[in-house]
Amino acid sequence: MKPFLPFTRPAIDEDSIAAVGAVLRSGQLASGPKVQAFEAALEDYVGGGRKLRVLTSATEGLEIALAVAGVRCGDEVIVPAMSFSASANVIARLGARPKFVDIELGSRNIDVRGLEAALTERTRAIMPVHFSGLPVDLNRLYAFATKHGLRVVEDAAHAIGSRYQDRKIGSFGDLVVFSFHPNKNMTSIEGGAIALTDPREIELIEQHRFHGIKKNADGEVDVLFPGGKSNLADVAAQVGLDQLRRLDGFNDRRRHLAGLYFEALAEFPGIVLPERGDSGHSWHMFQLLIDFAARGTTRPAFQKAMAARGIGIGVHYPCIPALSYYRAKGYDAERDYPIAARVGRETVTLPLFPAMTDEDVTRVCTELRAELG
């Protein structure tokens, strides 16, 4: 029997494992020289003269970026109705209100045509998501933000290494947040980073991630506000360094595998493929839409059946306004965000990670066809 194929798996090589051992033996376990080296390497990779500051997660990065951008209690932030729940949770945690906008069916990205209708006098920022690594239409989005004096926090959790009009995501724009969770295109075990340029905001991020502390020229400590603690450990940074050197190869492999899925599933009836995009797409995930009700089954039943065939199937993601917390706040997913609601009901994530072989894609598609008929 063939081994179980998960929907994702991090690619940690022996060199990385050995390097982590060296960090552990060094005695420097909290933020130290490896964090500094990781930030410098990210700055070189992203380019554009940007500075990057790493944190323990992209979720922390999004919340801190919004706070640095001036989002306060009572404000509103425009965000897509379909993403991971953290995209809205960080807004709510600041006491602000998520202002959801529906998505495009193919790209699963925010429909920029809906921005104007979502705008109110309380809107302070837009937080688009580069879903699955496919960049949002940033020209139109930034033109809208500039016209209305809004900050932009790009949720680029899926998009490290993606390009928009031949410029790397993060190399331009306002505040851009990456994720290095184990299921992302590269990992630092857990972790994230914020890309930006403003020196004052860089300082604020450093203070937010470590207790609101500022030191004077003599090294004496002061606390300017009640910051949190989200500084990355050197062990995590070492993993990130080793992953970053392999990232372009990872992404090339993901593009190749995605292309094989498109070839194998192009004529398969009853599914909706994602938008293909161009070579700038880094393919964090590969999702299909399946109308389970029309097939007389359910998504959990489909997942169990595929697991029995040795194939792991993920769900990325439920429609955010359909989640209990947001329903209780008065959001109505089916009425107001019909495309996001549909994607939330029908989406499934197929296996996609660099260690997969071409034959693994064939296997997934063979079992998928056999299960769906």
Q: Which residues contact 286 (CB under 8 A, 6 or more apart)?
A: 132, 257, 258, 261, 274, 349, 350, 352
CATH class of 14-244: alpha beta
3-class SS of residue 238: helix
Given a cut of 90, whether residue 367 has pLDDT beyond it is: yes
CB atoms within 10 A of CB 139: 11
Q: Which of 13-17, 30-34, 114-118 has the highest mean pLDDT?
A: 114-118
Q: Average pLDDT for residues 280-292, to the nearest whole number? A: 97
CA pair distance 261, 362, nearest whole angstrom: 8
> Over the Cα atoms of the chain, what is R_g?
21
Taking 80 as the threshold, does the pLDDT of residue 112 lie above it?
yes
pLDDT band, residue 146 (cuts 50/70/90)? very high
Nearest one of 189, 166, 293, 276 to 240, comparing CA atoms: 189
Distance CA 296, CA 102 (A): 27
pLDDT over 80 (residue 1): no
Torsion angle, alpha carbons of 89, 92, 98, 102, to 10: 20
Mean pLDDT in residue range 193-202: 98
247-372 fold: Aspartate Aminotransferase, domain 1 (3.90.1150)
Question: Does the predicted TM-score (pTM) go above 0.85?
Answer: yes
Whether 227 has a pLDDT exceeding 80, the answer reads yes
Q: What per-residue confidence (pLDDT) applies to 107?
A: 97
pLDDT score recorded for residue 29: 87
Q: Which of 235, 211, 227 is nearest to 38 (CA)?
A: 235
Catalytic residue among 184, 215, 229, 329: 184
Report residue 219's pLDDT band, with 50, 70 and 90 as the boundaries. confident
Exposed, middle or buried, 261 (CB in 10 Å: 0-12/13-18/19+)?
Answer: buried
Same fold yes or no, 14-244 and 247-372: no
pLDDT of res. 2: 87
| Nearest in space to 41 (alpha carbons), one of 319, 192, 188, 245 | 245
State the residue for tokens 């190399």: 171
Segment 185-211 mean pLDDT:
97
- Fill in the DSSP letter of residue 113: G
Tens digit of each residue's pLDDT (9 = 90 or more) over 161-170: 999 999 999 9
Instruction: Tell me if residue 287 falls in helix, strand or coil.
Output: strand
**Helix (H) or strand (E) segment spanning residue 92:** helix 86-93
Q: Is the pLDDT of residue 207 over 80?
A: yes
Q: What average pLDDT does the structure give for the chain?
A: 97
Query: What pLDDT score was predicted for residue 46?
Result: 98
Is 304 an active-site residue? no
- What average pLDDT does range 242-262 have in this prediction? 98
Q: Where are the domains of the chain?
A: 14-244, 247-372
